[in-house]
Amino acid sequence: MNQLNAVLQTRMHECVDGARHLVMDIRYQCPQLAALLLKRYDLCSTGTSRLGRVGWNKEYFNLKKKQPKGTTKLMVVEVNGVLCVQWVDSKVVQCMSTKMNAKIGVVGRHVAHKKQPVPCPEAIIDYQEHMFGVDKGDQIRAHGGASQVKLTTKSGTRKGSLQCWT
């Protein structure tokens, strides 16, 4: 469990000045990790997840992207205290959260050059608000937009592939 080791190395679980809420992307979040962080370390987490991960009820969560935008399925797994959400946007999105918020909000989506309101679970809205900065930073770094370090060689200075970020 590399994800758990990363959380423990930050010593985030030792903070006593308030609740901590982790937001993770599809690579890291799974129902078991969310339950472990909540029960053992008192850390709430929200994140997207693959439907194929162990812990998802694949018979209940069976939405397809052909269904209308805004179609939602919610389930609280009482054994481990995780809210599981499936929502249809341009793709089917699976999200889970230990922050119990089963309300349905509204987001704007462009349909035929018009922005229309689409119902969306609050857990996914919360995820989108807090992951935006991280995803943008990853996107910028992936396209080489971060500051690059100049490499000095015997033939002179040239722009290299070594990159550093702050």
**Boundaries of every domain in the chain:** 2-132
Residues 73-82 have pLDDT tens digits of 999 887 788 8
CB-facing half-sphere around the CA of 100: CA atoms within 13 A: 9
pLDDT of residue 136: 61
Confidence of residue 86 (pLDDT cuts 50, 70, 90): very high
DSSP one-letter string for 30-97: -HHHHHHHHHHH-EEEEEE--TTSTT--TTT----TTSPTT-EEEEEETTTTEEEEEEESSSEEEEEE
Q: Are 57 and 84 in contact (CB under 8 A)?
A: yes
What is the share, in percent, of the chain residues with pLDDT greater than 90?
Answer: 19
Coil, helix or strand at residue 122? helix
The CA R_g of the chain, rounded to the nearest whole Å, is 20
- CA dist list (Å): 166 to 52, 58, 140, 141, 146: 35, 41, 13, 11, 9
Asked if residue 124 lies in contact with residue 102, where contact means CB atoms within 8 angstroms, the answer is no
Over residues 37-62, the mean pLDDT reads 84
Q: What is the pLDDT of residues 133-146, one digit of tens each?
A: 555 666 666 666 55
pLDDT of residue 1: 61
